[in-house]
Amino acid sequence: MMKRTLLASLMSFASVAVLANDYQHETSLDFSWGDVLTSDLQSWDLSHRFYLTPVEFNSIAPLAEAAFIGRNSSVYGLYNRGTLKTDGFKDSFSAWGLGGEYMADSHNFYASLDYFSVNGSSAKSALSQLGYFFQADWLITFDAEHLRSDQQGSATQFGLSTKKLMRLPTGDHLNIEASYMDLKGTSRNRYSLGGDYYFGKTMSVGLLYDWTSKNGFSTDSDAFTIRGQWYPMAQLALRAQVTFDQLETGEDLYTVGASYRF
């Protein structure tokens, strides 16, 4: 009798979650691991995003793109904690970030700001974007990135980004994103091109290619990412990705994570 009651309660909770119409909070937890030269890297990311207005689940668009299609402004906070292990020695580090984005149904303008800082270090970064929706599902932004490291001083560099969500004749969706950044103090640029195929509203598989180059074609360094995400219910997302030859470390990096909306 108790087992039947517990099962009925779980099914009732799942039904309520699937039928939910909106959310205003999203909490995410991600775990990453890999090698950095001779060290073993493990890292946790905990973040929370608050939407200034409730996000409604669009009847057509994928669940992952609800805030983009609804143009819901938000703010977020992020905390990162990790360790590097080398020959029995362990070194811990932590970092934090803040940011937000602004967009609305009443106009086509877009703005965002992301700030990231490493604790116990002068290393910091800030990315600001100003953009315009040329279509309801097509955004182009002008990007300005300010970087400060422990040893190399600071630099500000500029670039462009775009995001387009297309509905296919099958009813599925294809998300395409691309970016370009002029790397300050070098003769190289950084490029990124990626896409996610949404099977219905709940599942996606994506590919991302990042590279640096002098002319856009011959690569100096590159990285390839395979990623996927699944919503077993409207409020819960599970995801995983692997990046081969990550640009920052030149090593492979694995990540699994989950998000809950309420």
What pLDDT shows up at residue 21?
Answer: 65
**What is the full DSSP assignment across the chain?**
-HHHHHHHHHHHHHHHHHH--EEEEEEEEEEEEEEETTEEEEEEEEEEEEEEEEEE--SSS-GGGHHHHHT--EEEEEEEEEEEEETTEEEEEEEEEEEEEE--TT-SEEEEEEEEEETTSS-EEEEEEEEEEEETTEEEEEEEEEEE-SSS-EEEEEEEEEEEEEE-TTS-EEEEEEEEEE-TTSS-EEEEEEEEEEETTTEEEEEEEEEEESSSSSEEEEEEEEEEEEEEETTEEEEEEEEES-TTTSS-EEEEEEEEE-
> What is the CATH topology of the domain spanning 2-261?
Porin (2.40.160)
More confident residue, 249 or 261: 261
Of 12-21, 91-100, 166-175, 207-216, the range with the lowest mean pLDDT is 12-21
Cα 32 from Cα 241, distance rounded (Å): 9
The backbone torsions φ and ψ at residue 169, rounded to the nearest 5 degrees and listed phi first, read: -55, -25
What pLDDT shows up at residue 247?
Answer: 76
Query: What's this model's pTM, rounded to 2 decimal places?
Result: 0.88
pLDDT at position 19 over 70: no
Cα 217 from Cα 203, distance rounded (Å): 32
pLDDT at position 104 over 70: yes
Could you tell me the pLDDT band of residue 8, with boundaries at 50, 70 and 90? very low
Could you tell me the pLDDT band of residue 174, with boundaries at 50, 70 and 90? very high
User: Dihedral of CA 78/227/103/163: which sign?
Assistant: positive
More confident residue, 20 or 53: 53
Task: Tell me the average pLDDT of the chain.
Answer: 90
More confident residue, 113 or 152: 113
Give tens-digit pLDDT for 204-249: 999 999 999 887 677 778 999 999 999 999 999 999 999 998 877 7
Domain ranges of the chain: 2-261
Measure the CA angle with vertex 115, ends 142 and 241; round to 5°: 85
What pLDDT shows up at residue 220?
Answer: 78
Could you tell me the pLDDT band of residue 202, with boundaries at 50, 70 and 90? very high
What pLDDT shows up at residue 149?
Answer: 83
Could you tell me the pLDDT band of residue 127, with boundaries at 50, 70 and 90? very high
What pLDDT shows up at residue 216?
Answer: 65
Cβ pair 154, 126 in contact under 8 A: no
Could you tell me the pLDDT band of residue 250, with boundaries at 50, 70 and 90? confident
Cα 62 from Cα 198, distance rounded (Å): 7
pLDDT at position 29 over 70: yes
Give tens-digit pLDDT for 134-173: 999 999 999 999 999 877 778 999 999 999 999 999 999 9
